[in-house]
Amino acid sequence: MARKVTAEEQEPYAIDDDELEAQGGSIYICQCGLSDNKPFCDGSHTATADEEDGVVYEYDDGERTVVSDD
């Protein structure tokens, strides 16, 4: 069964803790749904920077189209 998932977040979720800091880094989890390296962020969320509120977009092979405009 196919499933379409809608994501509203435009930035990753940062996981910071003492152990990660001791190793010199953080982990970023994708919340926009566009990363090719899920569950980790690969920076794809930058494509969402100019999205307008109230508009639903669909991304397919790097192309963005408007699905609905409230």
Domain locations along the chain:
13-46+54-69
Q: What is the chain's mean pLDDT, rounded?
A: 90
> Structure pTM?
0.79
With 0-12 CB in 10 A as exposed, 13-18 as middle and 19+ as buried, what is 34? buried
With 0-12 CB in 10 A as exposed, 13-18 as middle and 19+ as buried, what is 10? middle
Q: How confident is the model at residue 29 (pLDDT cuts 50, 70, 90)?
A: very high
How far is 67 from 5, CA to CA, in rounded Å? 13
How far is 27 from 59, CA to CA, in rounded Å? 24
Inter-residue contact 60 to 35 (CB < 8 Å) = no
Q: Is the pLDDT of residue 47 over 90?
A: yes
